[in-house]
């Protein structure tokens, strides 16, 4: 049986949606796979604006097609995580010899990010207040993590990076809109246009955690401001450096004496429709409800764990580990925990969050043996790969490079 799955990586189509409380109406839901789950209201949020309320509907489940695609994608990502770099490179159809999954972006990227017109701005004042603002104090304590921002003596430092220059002004002192901002990149002959993409995230190098907060990919943002929300941008016009996994890495390695100390990834306050539908399906299968920490955990050896890892909010973390095996060692994701904030709010008025548990993985077999075993089993992975990078947030959505895998079972 031939199963084709689209790895729309991106890390990242996660974000928190603003707006009024919605009435359950699964039949009227619209999911756009090119959008990271960020609402127009969030795109225009003020830097220190209060976190909006997002509704999670426990009876709005993933369709059979979406479930199978996400589970297959998650399974493929687990194979890449647990294989060697060469095996992972073959899986993503890398053209180097020998093949490798390693990202070409493996430093702090200060020069590269600036060249590609990314600018750091101030994150929200509450972003790294995981215990107080996000109401995750028990989860933080249980995992041995500090829940305070660095500004209050805590271990968490938040960052926000945007793909435009908010300081650009015209002759009259007016801010130049992102759609009218153009830039050149050393070594490239063309002019590029700003997308106004943004990634806001937290890093705790001491505790070993990375938190995804407010995220919108270059593809999703360009579609919104260049194409009025309807026209897909030409991917050649997007910044080559746009994957959330690469940007996370750039900040993770800065002033970090132990880059291998990655223990947890979080997506906080998920609003992406497809991810929420997958979460609802997983909880239904487990006979569980969305609950406070310890929540409900799903092993990545299960279909549920695969579906969560392959969801728009999961794949970017797999890429972070898979593309930096040389620096991190052989890391894998063992389980994914679904949980909600520790508040008295009604279940209908809280966001689901995800925690991805990272551990050292077993050393893979030699590449030749691994490939022989794969051939013997009759499973041939990754027949063709699109070089459109859907790893941008990635939608995660990860949305900037879409890799197409065909797996023969």
Neighbours of 91 (CB within 10 A): 24
Does residue 24 lie within any of the structural domains? no
Q: Are 77 and 297 in contact (CB under 8 A)?
A: no
Residue 368 is predicted with a pLDDT of 52
- On the question of a cis peptide bond just before residue 98, with omega within 30 degrees of 0, the verdict is yes
Residue 366 is predicted with a pLDDT of 76
C-alpha distances (whole Å) from 72 to each of 4, 34, 60, 136, 142 are: 9, 19, 21, 31, 31
User: Per-residue pLDDT for 11 more than 70?
Assistant: no
Does residue 355 lie within any of the structural domains? yes
Q: Report the number of distinct structural domains present in the chain.
A: 1
Q: Are 366 and 83 in contact (CB under 8 A)?
A: no
Which residue is associated with the tokens 């360009």? 222
Query: Which tens digit of pLDDT belongs to each residue from 189-199?
Result: 999 999 999 99
Residues of the chain with pLDDT > 90, as a percent, come to 70
Does residue 182 lie within any of the structural domains? yes
Does residue 23 lie within any of the structural domains? no
Does residue 26 lie within any of the structural domains? no
User: Per-residue pLDDT for 154 more than 70?
Assistant: yes
Q: Are 41 and 17 in contact (CB under 8 A)?
A: yes
Query: Which tens digit of pLDDT belongs to each residue from 353-384?
Result: 999 999 999 888 877 544 545 444 433 433 33
Q: What is the 3-state secondary structure (H, E, C) of 131-181?
A: CCCCCCHHHHHHCCCCCCEHHHCCCEEEEEEECCCCCCECCCCCECCHHHC
C-alpha distances (whole Å) from 307 to each of 14, 70, 276, 316, 351 are: 16, 5, 11, 14, 19
Does residue 275 lie within any of the structural domains? yes
Instruction: Give the list of residues 6+ apart from residue 270 with CB closer than 8 angstroms, or none.
Output: 14, 37, 54, 56, 276, 279, 313, 351, 352, 353, 354
Residue 389 is predicted with a pLDDT of 36
Does residue 28 lie within any of the structural domains? no
Q: Is 97 helix (H, G, I), strand (E, B) or coil?
A: coil
Per the rule left: phi > 0, alpha: psi between -120 and 50, beta: everything else, 208 is left
Question: The domain containing residue 198 runs over which residues?
Answer: 2-18+33-169+177-408
Does residue 25 lie within any of the structural domains? no
Q: Could you tell me the pLDDT band of residue 55, with boundaries at 50, 70 and 90?
A: low
Residues of the chain with pLDDT > 70, as a percent, come to 75
């Amino acid at each position: 049986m031939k199963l084709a799955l689209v790895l729309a990586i991106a890390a990242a189509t996660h974000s928190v949606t603003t707006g009024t409380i919605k009435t359950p109406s699964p039949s009227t839901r619209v999911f756009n796979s090119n959008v990271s789950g960020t609402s127009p209201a969030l795109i225009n949020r003020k830097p220190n604006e209060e976190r909006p309320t997002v509704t999670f509907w426990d009876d709005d489940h993933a369709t059979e097609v979406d479930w199978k695609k996400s589970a297959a994608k998650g399974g493929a990502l687990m194979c890449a995580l647990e294989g060697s770099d060469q095996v992972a490179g073959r899986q993503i159809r890398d053209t180097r010899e020998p093949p490798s999954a390693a990202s070409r972006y493996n430093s702090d990227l200060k020069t590269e990010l600036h060249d590609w017109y990314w600018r750091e701005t101030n994150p929200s004042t509450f972003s790294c207040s995981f215990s107080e603002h996000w109401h995750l104090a028990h989860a933080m304590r249980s995992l041995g993590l500090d829940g305070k921002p660095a500004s209050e003596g805590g271990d968490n430092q938040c960052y926000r990076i945007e793909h435009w220059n908010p300081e650009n002004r015209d002759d009259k002192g007016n801010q130049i809109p992102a759609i009218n901002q153009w830039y050149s990149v050393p070594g490239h002959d063309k002019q590029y246009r700003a997308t106004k993409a943004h990634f806001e995230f937290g890093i705790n190098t001491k505790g070993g955690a990375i938190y995804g907060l407010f995220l919108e990919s270059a593809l999703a943002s360009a579609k919104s401001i260049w194409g009025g929300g309807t026209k897909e941008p030409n991917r050649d016009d997007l910044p080559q450096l746009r994957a959330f996994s690469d940007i996370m890495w750039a900040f993770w390695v800065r002033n970090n004496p132990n880059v291998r100390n990655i223990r947890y990834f979080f997506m906080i306050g998920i609003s992406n429709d497809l991810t929420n539908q997958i979460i609802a399906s997983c909880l239904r299968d487990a006979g569980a409800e969305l609950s406070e920490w310890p929540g409900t955990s799903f092993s990545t050896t299960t279909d549920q764990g695969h579906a969560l890892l392959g969801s728009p909010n999961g794949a970017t973390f797999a890429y972070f580990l898979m593309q930096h095996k040389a620096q991190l060692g052989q890391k894998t994701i063992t389980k994914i925990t679904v949980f909600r904030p520790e508040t008295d709010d009604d279940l209908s008025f809280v966001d689901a969050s995800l925690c991805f548990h990272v551990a050292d993985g077993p050393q893979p077999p030699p590449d030749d043996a691994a490939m022989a075993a794969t051939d013997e089993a009759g499973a041939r992975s990754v027949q063709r790969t699109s070089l459109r990078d859907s790893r941008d947030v990635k939608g995660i959505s990860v949305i900037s490079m879409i890799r197409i895998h065909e797996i023969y079972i």
